[in-house]
Amino acid sequence: MDTGASSHLADNTGILTSFSNSSIYPSVFVGNGNSIPVTHTGHSFLHTSYKPLNLNHILVTPHIIKNLIFVCKFTRDNDVSVEFDAYGFSVKDYQTQKILFRCDSTVDLYPVTQQPSLQTPVVLLSLSSTTWHKRLGHPGDDVLRRLKSSNLISCNKSKLSALCHACQLGKDVKLPFHSSQSFVKSVFKIIHSDIWTSSISSESEIKYYAIFLDQFSHFVWVYPLHKKSDLFNNFVAFRAYVNKKFNVDIKALQCDHGGEYDNTRFHDLFRQNGIQFRFSCPRTSQQNGKSERMLRTINNLIRTLLFQAHMPPSYWVEALNMAAHLLNILPSIAINNEIPFTKLYNQTLTYELLRVFGYLCYPHVDVAHKLEPRSTPCIFLGYPVNHRGYRCLDLVTNKIIISRHVRFDEDVFPFGNFTSSTKPTYDFLLPPIQTTTNVPTTEPFAQHVDEPHSRYPSIS
Protein backbone atom coordinates (compact mmCIF):
# COMPACT_ATOMS: atom_id res chain seq x y z
CA MET A 1 0.00 0.00 0.00
CA ASP A 2 1.41 3.41 -0.99
CA THR A 3 -0.22 6.78 -0.31
CA GLY A 4 2.45 8.59 -2.32
CA ALA A 5 2.16 6.75 -5.66
CA SER A 6 0.22 8.19 -8.61
CA SER A 7 -0.70 4.82 -10.20
CA HIS A 8 -0.80 1.11 -9.41
CA LEU A 9 2.61 -0.35 -10.35
CA ALA A 10 3.63 -3.98 -11.03
CA ASP A 11 6.93 -5.49 -12.13
CA ASN A 12 5.46 -8.16 -14.50
CA THR A 13 2.26 -9.15 -16.33
CA GLY A 14 2.02 -12.51 -14.58
CA ILE A 15 0.01 -11.07 -11.72
CA LEU A 16 -2.53 -9.38 -14.07
CA THR A 17 -5.84 -10.85 -15.19
CA SER A 18 -5.71 -8.83 -18.45
CA PHE A 19 -3.24 -6.43 -20.06
CA SER A 20 -2.33 -4.63 -23.27
CA ASN A 21 1.01 -3.72 -24.83
CA SER A 22 0.24 -0.03 -24.90
CA SER A 23 0.24 2.70 -22.25
CA ILE A 24 -0.56 6.38 -22.22
CA TYR A 25 2.49 6.82 -19.96
CA PRO A 26 5.81 5.86 -21.56
CA SER A 27 7.67 6.04 -18.24
CA VAL A 28 7.34 6.91 -14.54
CA PHE A 29 9.64 8.69 -12.11
CA VAL A 30 10.69 6.86 -8.94
CA GLY A 31 11.96 8.02 -5.58
CA ASN A 32 15.62 8.42 -6.52
CA GLY A 33 14.70 10.71 -9.41
CA ASN A 34 15.26 8.17 -12.19
CA SER A 35 12.77 7.49 -14.98
CA ILE A 36 11.86 3.84 -15.65
CA PRO A 37 9.90 2.63 -18.71
CA VAL A 38 6.30 1.39 -18.73
CA THR A 39 5.84 -1.70 -20.95
CA HIS A 40 2.18 -2.69 -20.41
CA THR A 41 -1.11 -1.61 -18.88
CA GLY A 42 -3.49 -4.05 -17.24
CA HIS A 43 -6.07 -4.95 -14.63
CA SER A 44 -6.25 -7.31 -11.67
CA PHE A 45 -8.22 -8.09 -8.55
CA LEU A 46 -7.39 -8.18 -4.86
CA HIS A 47 -9.31 -11.18 -3.50
CA THR A 48 -10.84 -11.00 -0.01
CA SER A 49 -13.12 -13.28 1.97
CA TYR A 50 -16.08 -11.06 1.07
CA LYS A 51 -15.65 -9.72 -2.47
CA PRO A 52 -12.92 -9.05 -5.02
CA LEU A 53 -11.50 -5.53 -5.11
CA ASN A 54 -10.58 -3.96 -8.46
CA LEU A 55 -7.08 -2.85 -9.34
CA ASN A 56 -7.58 -0.81 -12.54
CA HIS A 57 -5.00 0.68 -14.89
CA ILE A 58 -1.94 -1.03 -13.46
CA LEU A 59 1.30 0.18 -15.06
CA VAL A 60 3.82 -2.62 -15.68
CA THR A 61 7.35 -1.37 -15.02
CA PRO A 62 9.88 -4.25 -14.89
CA HIS A 63 12.43 -2.18 -13.00
CA ILE A 64 10.15 -1.34 -10.06
CA ILE A 65 11.40 -2.82 -6.77
CA LYS A 66 8.03 -3.21 -5.03
CA ASN A 67 4.55 -3.69 -6.50
CA LEU A 68 2.53 -0.68 -5.34
CA ILE A 69 -1.18 -0.12 -4.80
CA PHE A 70 -2.07 3.54 -5.21
CA VAL A 71 -4.32 4.04 -2.17
CA CYS A 72 -6.29 7.01 -3.47
CA LYS A 73 -7.32 5.28 -6.75
CA PHE A 74 -7.89 1.96 -4.97
CA THR A 75 -10.38 3.49 -2.52
CA ARG A 76 -12.27 5.38 -5.26
CA ASP A 77 -12.57 2.35 -7.57
CA ASN A 78 -13.91 0.08 -4.81
CA ASP A 79 -15.79 2.45 -2.49
CA VAL A 80 -13.61 1.44 0.46
CA SER A 81 -11.39 3.14 3.02
CA VAL A 82 -7.88 2.18 4.09
CA GLU A 83 -6.90 2.78 7.73
CA PHE A 84 -3.25 2.57 8.79
CA ASP A 85 -2.00 2.03 12.34
CA ALA A 86 1.22 1.03 14.07
CA TYR A 87 0.60 -2.68 13.45
CA GLY A 88 -0.72 -2.77 9.87
CA PHE A 89 -3.73 -1.62 7.87
CA SER A 90 -7.40 -2.45 7.44
CA VAL A 91 -9.57 -2.16 4.31
CA LYS A 92 -13.19 -1.33 5.19
CA ASP A 93 -16.40 -0.99 3.23
CA TYR A 94 -16.94 2.76 3.04
CA GLN A 95 -20.70 2.57 3.67
CA THR A 96 -20.93 -0.08 6.38
CA GLN A 97 -17.41 0.22 7.84
CA LYS A 98 -17.20 -3.57 7.72
CA ILE A 99 -13.61 -4.81 7.64
CA LEU A 100 -13.03 -6.57 4.31
CA PHE A 101 -9.52 -7.67 5.14
CA ARG A 102 -6.65 -6.89 7.48
CA CYS A 103 -2.89 -7.15 6.89
CA ASP A 104 -0.28 -6.86 9.64
CA SER A 105 3.03 -5.10 9.15
CA THR A 106 6.26 -6.49 10.57
CA VAL A 107 8.58 -3.98 8.87
CA ASP A 108 8.49 -0.30 8.01
CA LEU A 109 6.24 -0.93 4.97
CA TYR A 110 2.60 -2.05 4.70
CA PRO A 111 2.64 -5.23 2.54
CA VAL A 112 -0.53 -6.83 1.18
CA THR A 113 -0.26 -10.42 2.37
CA GLN A 114 -1.47 -13.38 0.33
CA GLN A 115 -3.79 -14.61 3.07
CA PRO A 116 -5.48 -11.76 4.93
CA SER A 117 -5.90 -12.09 8.67
CA LEU A 118 -9.65 -12.73 8.40
CA GLN A 119 -8.97 -16.28 7.22
CA THR A 120 -7.91 -17.15 10.79
CA PRO A 121 -10.58 -17.79 13.45
CA VAL A 122 -12.10 -14.47 14.46
CA VAL A 123 -14.47 -13.37 17.20
CA LEU A 124 -16.90 -10.91 15.66
CA LEU A 125 -19.18 -10.19 18.61
CA SER A 126 -19.61 -6.43 18.85
CA LEU A 127 -19.39 -5.68 22.54
CA SER A 128 -18.25 -2.66 24.50
CA SER A 129 -14.57 -2.14 25.23
CA THR A 130 -15.36 -2.34 28.92
CA THR A 131 -16.95 -5.78 28.50
CA TRP A 132 -13.98 -7.10 26.54
CA HIS A 133 -11.66 -5.58 29.17
CA LYS A 134 -13.43 -7.64 31.84
CA ARG A 135 -13.69 -10.85 29.72
CA LEU A 136 -9.99 -10.78 28.91
CA GLY A 137 -8.87 -10.42 32.53
CA HIS A 138 -8.41 -6.65 32.67
CA PRO A 139 -5.54 -6.17 30.17
CA GLY A 140 -4.06 -2.76 29.43
CA ASP A 141 -5.38 -0.40 26.75
CA ASP A 142 -2.55 -1.29 24.35
CA VAL A 143 -3.54 -4.98 24.42
CA LEU A 144 -7.15 -4.18 23.54
CA ARG A 145 -6.05 -1.89 20.72
CA ARG A 146 -3.85 -4.62 19.27
CA LEU A 147 -6.67 -7.19 19.35
CA LYS A 148 -9.08 -4.74 17.73
CA SER A 149 -6.61 -3.71 15.04
CA SER A 150 -5.98 -7.40 14.25
CA ASN A 151 -9.77 -7.87 13.93
CA LEU A 152 -9.71 -10.58 16.59
CA ILE A 153 -12.39 -8.78 18.57
CA SER A 154 -15.01 -6.29 17.51
CA CYS A 155 -15.96 -3.42 19.80
CA ASN A 156 -18.75 -0.93 19.46
CA LYS A 157 -18.02 2.78 19.68
CA SER A 158 -18.33 2.98 23.47
CA LYS A 159 -15.03 3.89 25.11
CA LEU A 160 -13.27 2.00 27.86
CA SER A 161 -14.18 3.34 31.29
CA ALA A 162 -11.61 5.83 32.50
CA LEU A 163 -11.15 4.02 35.80
CA CYS A 164 -11.70 0.31 36.45
CA HIS A 165 -12.55 -0.38 40.08
CA ALA A 166 -11.25 -3.96 39.99
CA CYS A 167 -7.96 -2.85 38.38
CA GLN A 168 -7.41 -0.25 41.10
CA LEU A 169 -7.95 -2.82 43.84
CA GLY A 170 -5.98 -5.62 42.21
CA LYS A 171 -3.23 -3.98 40.15
CA ASP A 172 -2.76 -0.45 41.45
CA VAL A 173 0.83 0.78 41.43
CA LYS A 174 2.43 4.00 42.57
CA LEU A 175 2.31 6.89 40.14
CA PRO A 176 5.60 7.85 38.46
CA PHE A 177 7.68 10.68 39.86
CA HIS A 178 8.73 13.57 37.69
CA SER A 179 11.72 15.84 38.10
CA SER A 180 10.95 18.80 40.33
CA GLN A 181 10.38 22.04 38.47
CA SER A 182 10.83 24.23 41.58
CA PHE A 183 13.16 27.09 40.74
CA VAL A 184 14.45 29.72 43.14
CA LYS A 185 16.35 32.89 42.31
CA SER A 186 17.86 33.69 45.70
CA VAL A 187 19.18 32.06 48.85
CA PHE A 188 16.95 30.63 51.60
CA LYS A 189 13.76 30.59 49.53
CA ILE A 190 13.55 26.84 50.15
CA ILE A 191 15.54 24.93 52.77
CA HIS A 192 15.52 21.13 52.51
CA SER A 193 15.95 19.17 55.71
CA ASP A 194 16.13 15.61 56.99
CA ILE A 195 17.48 13.63 59.93
CA TRP A 196 19.76 10.60 59.76
CA THR A 197 19.93 8.02 62.56
CA SER A 198 23.10 6.13 63.43
CA SER A 199 23.11 2.70 64.98
CA ILE A 200 26.53 3.53 66.52
CA SER A 201 27.00 6.33 69.03
CA SER A 202 29.84 8.74 68.42
CA GLU A 203 32.62 9.48 70.90
CA SER A 204 30.39 12.23 72.34
CA GLU A 205 27.27 9.98 72.42
CA ILE A 206 25.74 11.52 69.28
CA LYS A 207 23.27 9.26 67.43
CA TYR A 208 21.63 11.62 64.93
CA TYR A 209 22.43 14.48 62.65
CA ALA A 210 20.21 16.93 60.79
CA ILE A 211 20.95 18.73 57.56
CA PHE A 212 19.69 22.06 56.22
CA LEU A 213 20.28 22.40 52.48
CA ASP A 214 19.75 25.70 50.66
CA GLN A 215 18.19 24.94 47.27
CA PHE A 216 19.68 27.98 45.51
CA SER A 217 23.34 27.58 46.50
CA HIS A 218 23.25 23.87 47.46
CA PHE A 219 25.24 24.80 50.57
CA VAL A 220 24.61 22.30 53.37
CA TRP A 221 24.75 22.77 57.14
CA VAL A 222 24.97 19.77 59.47
CA TYR A 223 23.88 19.59 63.10
CA PRO A 224 24.81 16.56 65.27
CA LEU A 225 21.96 15.74 67.68
CA HIS A 226 21.80 13.76 70.91
CA LYS A 227 18.03 13.42 70.52
CA LYS A 228 15.68 14.02 67.60
CA SER A 229 13.80 16.48 69.75
CA ASP A 230 16.91 18.70 69.67
CA LEU A 231 16.02 19.51 66.06
CA PHE A 232 13.70 22.41 66.90
CA ASN A 233 16.25 24.36 68.92
CA ASN A 234 18.88 23.75 66.27
CA PHE A 235 16.53 25.07 63.59
CA VAL A 236 15.91 28.18 65.71
CA ALA A 237 19.69 28.66 66.00
CA PHE A 238 20.12 28.08 62.25
CA ARG A 239 17.37 30.59 61.41
CA ALA A 240 18.95 33.19 63.73
CA TYR A 241 22.29 32.64 62.00
CA VAL A 242 20.67 33.17 58.59
CA ASN A 243 18.95 36.35 59.76
CA LYS A 244 22.12 37.88 61.18
CA LYS A 245 24.56 36.70 58.53
CA PHE A 246 22.49 37.28 55.39
CA ASN A 247 19.80 39.70 56.59
CA VAL A 248 17.02 37.47 55.17
CA ASP A 249 14.54 35.00 56.58
CA ILE A 250 13.83 31.43 55.53
CA LYS A 251 10.75 31.32 53.31
CA ALA A 252 9.94 27.57 53.26
CA LEU A 253 11.14 24.29 54.76
CA GLN A 254 10.89 21.08 52.71
CA CYS A 255 10.97 17.95 54.88
CA ASP A 256 9.30 14.62 55.53
CA HIS A 257 6.24 14.17 57.73
CA GLY A 258 8.16 12.90 60.77
CA GLY A 259 7.11 13.97 64.24
CA GLU A 260 10.35 15.85 64.77
CA TYR A 261 9.07 18.38 62.18
CA ASP A 262 5.29 18.02 62.35
CA ASN A 263 4.73 19.21 65.91
CA THR A 264 3.24 22.14 67.80
CA ARG A 265 6.48 24.05 68.34
CA PHE A 266 7.38 24.05 64.65
CA HIS A 267 3.85 24.90 63.52
CA ASP A 268 3.56 27.80 65.98
CA LEU A 269 6.94 29.20 64.95
CA PHE A 270 6.15 28.95 61.25
CA ARG A 271 2.66 30.41 61.59
CA GLN A 272 3.95 33.40 63.59
CA ASN A 273 6.74 34.14 61.12
CA GLY A 274 5.11 33.30 57.78
CA ILE A 275 7.37 30.34 57.03
CA GLN A 276 5.84 27.68 54.79
CA PHE A 277 5.95 23.95 55.55
CA ARG A 278 6.41 21.72 52.47
CA PHE A 279 5.82 18.16 53.70
CA SER A 280 6.40 15.04 51.62
CA CYS A 281 3.54 12.56 51.68
CA PRO A 282 3.80 9.63 54.14
CA ARG A 283 6.14 6.86 52.90
CA THR A 284 7.01 8.96 49.84
CA SER A 285 10.65 9.81 50.38
CA GLN A 286 11.04 10.70 46.69
CA GLN A 287 9.29 14.01 47.40
CA ASN A 288 12.12 14.85 49.78
CA GLY A 289 14.68 13.76 47.21
CA LYS A 290 17.23 16.57 47.60
CA SER A 291 17.68 15.83 51.30
CA GLU A 292 17.74 12.06 50.71
CA ARG A 293 20.45 12.39 48.05
CA MET A 294 22.50 14.75 50.22
CA LEU A 295 22.34 12.31 53.16
CA ARG A 296 23.55 9.54 50.89
CA THR A 297 26.35 11.72 49.51
CA ILE A 298 27.48 12.80 52.98
CA ASN A 299 27.43 9.25 54.34
CA ASN A 300 29.44 7.97 51.38
CA LEU A 301 32.08 10.61 52.09
CA ILE A 302 32.04 9.89 55.84
CA ARG A 303 32.67 6.23 55.13
CA THR A 304 35.48 7.08 52.70
CA LEU A 305 37.21 9.40 55.18
CA LEU A 306 37.01 6.80 57.95
CA PHE A 307 38.40 4.08 55.67
CA GLN A 308 41.24 6.36 54.61
CA ALA A 309 42.20 7.25 58.18
CA HIS A 310 41.62 3.71 59.58
CA MET A 311 39.53 5.35 62.30
CA PRO A 312 36.93 3.58 64.48
CA PRO A 313 33.27 4.06 63.48
CA SER A 314 32.67 6.09 66.65
CA TYR A 315 34.48 9.01 65.01
CA TRP A 316 31.74 9.39 62.39
CA VAL A 317 30.69 12.83 63.71
CA GLU A 318 34.17 14.22 63.15
CA ALA A 319 34.10 12.79 59.61
CA LEU A 320 30.59 14.23 59.18
CA ASN A 321 31.76 17.79 59.82
CA MET A 322 34.72 17.32 57.49
CA ALA A 323 32.49 15.83 54.78
CA ALA A 324 30.05 18.75 54.87
CA HIS A 325 32.94 21.21 54.75
CA LEU A 326 34.44 19.53 51.69
CA LEU A 327 31.12 19.25 49.83
CA ASN A 328 30.55 22.97 50.29
CA ILE A 329 33.83 23.90 48.62
CA LEU A 330 33.61 21.47 45.68
CA PRO A 331 31.70 22.00 42.39
CA SER A 332 28.20 20.52 42.53
CA ILE A 333 26.35 18.99 39.58
CA ALA A 334 23.08 20.14 41.18
CA ILE A 335 23.99 23.78 40.44
CA ASN A 336 25.71 23.28 37.08
CA ASN A 337 29.13 22.62 38.64
CA GLU A 338 29.23 25.89 40.52
CA ILE A 339 30.73 25.88 44.03
CA PRO A 340 28.18 26.18 46.88
CA PHE A 341 30.45 28.36 49.03
CA THR A 342 31.11 30.79 46.18
CA LYS A 343 27.45 30.93 45.21
CA LEU A 344 26.35 31.57 48.79
CA TYR A 345 29.03 33.98 49.98
CA ASN A 346 30.17 35.40 46.62
CA GLN A 347 33.79 35.00 47.73
CA THR A 348 36.84 33.45 46.11
CA LEU A 349 38.08 30.17 47.56
CA THR A 350 41.60 28.99 48.33
CA TYR A 351 42.52 25.37 48.98
CA GLU A 352 46.06 25.94 50.29
CA LEU A 353 45.12 25.43 53.93
CA LEU A 354 43.33 22.09 53.40
CA ARG A 355 44.80 19.07 55.15
CA VAL A 356 43.95 15.36 54.94
CA PHE A 357 41.49 14.12 57.55
CA GLY A 358 43.10 11.69 60.04
CA TYR A 359 46.73 12.72 59.43
CA LEU A 360 49.33 12.77 62.20
CA CYS A 361 49.88 16.37 63.32
CA TYR A 362 51.80 18.27 65.99
CA PRO A 363 50.07 21.32 67.48
CA HIS A 364 52.16 23.78 69.49
CA VAL A 365 51.39 23.71 73.21
CA ASP A 366 52.44 26.15 75.92
CA VAL A 367 54.56 24.65 78.67
CA ALA A 368 55.23 25.60 82.27
CA HIS A 369 58.80 24.31 82.28
CA LYS A 370 61.48 24.88 79.68
CA LEU A 371 62.32 21.17 79.44
CA GLU A 372 58.77 20.03 78.76
CA PRO A 373 57.77 18.98 75.20
CA ARG A 374 56.60 21.87 73.02
CA SER A 375 54.15 19.66 71.07
CA THR A 376 52.33 16.36 71.26
CA PRO A 377 51.37 13.84 68.57
CA CYS A 378 47.73 14.24 67.53
CA ILE A 379 45.24 13.27 64.85
CA PHE A 380 43.82 15.99 62.62
CA LEU A 381 39.99 15.96 62.96
CA GLY A 382 39.04 19.02 60.91
CA TYR A 383 38.31 22.67 61.50
CA PRO A 384 36.67 24.18 64.60
CA VAL A 385 33.47 26.14 64.13
CA ASN A 386 34.29 29.22 66.16
CA HIS A 387 38.07 29.39 65.81
CA ARG A 388 40.57 30.08 63.05
CA GLY A 389 42.63 26.96 63.40
CA TYR A 390 42.64 23.16 63.48
CA ARG A 391 41.02 20.52 65.71
CA CYS A 392 43.58 17.96 66.91
CA LEU A 393 42.97 14.84 69.00
CA ASP A 394 45.72 14.25 71.58
CA LEU A 395 46.68 10.58 71.34
CA VAL A 396 47.86 10.52 74.97
CA THR A 397 45.10 12.34 76.83
CA ASN A 398 42.32 11.77 74.23
CA LYS A 399 41.45 15.47 74.50
CA ILE A 400 40.85 17.99 71.72
CA ILE A 401 43.48 20.65 71.13
CA ILE A 402 42.53 23.69 69.05
CA SER A 403 45.46 25.57 67.57
CA ARG A 404 46.55 27.52 64.51
CA HIS A 405 50.20 26.51 65.04
CA VAL A 406 50.10 22.95 63.69
CA ARG A 407 52.59 20.95 61.65
CA PHE A 408 51.42 17.91 59.66
CA ASP A 409 53.11 14.63 58.85
CA GLU A 410 51.39 13.83 55.55
CA ASP A 411 52.69 10.27 55.41
CA VAL A 412 51.20 8.84 58.60
CA PHE A 413 47.66 7.87 59.67
CA PRO A 414 48.14 7.09 63.39
CA PHE A 415 45.08 4.85 63.66
CA GLY A 416 46.53 2.70 60.90
CA ASN A 417 49.35 1.69 63.25
CA PHE A 418 47.01 0.43 65.97
CA THR A 419 46.46 -3.32 65.95
CA SER A 420 42.96 -4.64 66.53
CA SER A 421 41.49 -8.12 66.56
CA THR A 422 38.46 -6.92 64.58
CA LYS A 423 38.53 -4.80 61.46
CA PRO A 424 36.27 -1.73 61.71
CA THR A 425 33.12 -1.83 59.62
CA TYR A 426 31.13 1.17 58.45
CA ASP A 427 28.02 -0.60 57.17
CA PHE A 428 25.88 1.47 59.53
CA LEU A 429 26.36 4.37 57.11
CA LEU A 430 24.47 2.53 54.35
CA PRO A 431 21.72 3.31 53.63
CA PRO A 432 20.27 6.38 55.38
CA ILE A 433 17.61 5.22 57.83
CA GLN A 434 14.22 6.82 57.34
CA THR A 435 12.05 7.15 60.42
CA THR A 436 8.69 8.77 60.88
CA THR A 437 8.12 8.03 64.55
CA ASN A 438 6.45 10.78 66.55
CA VAL A 439 8.79 12.04 69.27
CA PRO A 440 8.14 14.28 72.25
CA THR A 441 8.85 17.94 71.57
CA THR A 442 9.26 19.18 75.11
CA GLU A 443 12.86 18.09 75.66
CA PRO A 444 15.26 20.82 76.91
CA PHE A 445 17.77 22.36 74.53
CA ALA A 446 20.59 19.84 74.60
CA GLN A 447 23.23 21.41 72.39
CA HIS A 448 24.36 25.02 72.16
CA VAL A 449 25.13 26.06 68.58
CA ASP A 450 26.47 29.56 67.91
CA GLU A 451 27.02 28.89 64.23
CA PRO A 452 26.33 25.82 62.06
CA HIS A 453 29.01 23.36 61.13
CA SER A 454 30.72 23.29 57.74
CA ARG A 455 31.74 26.97 57.69
CA TYR A 456 34.76 27.43 55.46
CA PRO A 457 37.67 28.31 57.77
CA SER A 458 39.82 31.33 57.02
CA ILE A 459 42.97 30.42 58.93
CA SER A 460 45.56 33.11 59.43
- The H or E element spanning position 129 is helix 129-135
**Strand ranges in 120-203 using DSSP code E only, listed in sequence order:** 126-127, 154-155, 191-197
Nearest to 144 by CA among 80, 101, 87, 96: 87
Q: CA 157 to CA 148: how far, in whole Å?
A: 12
Nearest to 288 by CA among 215, 389, 391: 215
Nearest to 2 by CA among 94, 84, 86: 84
- The H or E element spanning position 141 is helix 141-149
Q: Is 427 a catalytic residue?
A: no
Strand partners, 215: none
Catalytic residue among 2, 194, 214, 230: 2
Amino acid at 33: G
Nearest to 251 by CA among 259, 263, 239: 239
3-state secondary structure (DSSP) of residue 410 = coil
> For the chain, first and last CA: distance in Å?
82
Nearest to 254 by CA among 222, 301, 286: 286
Active site residues: 2
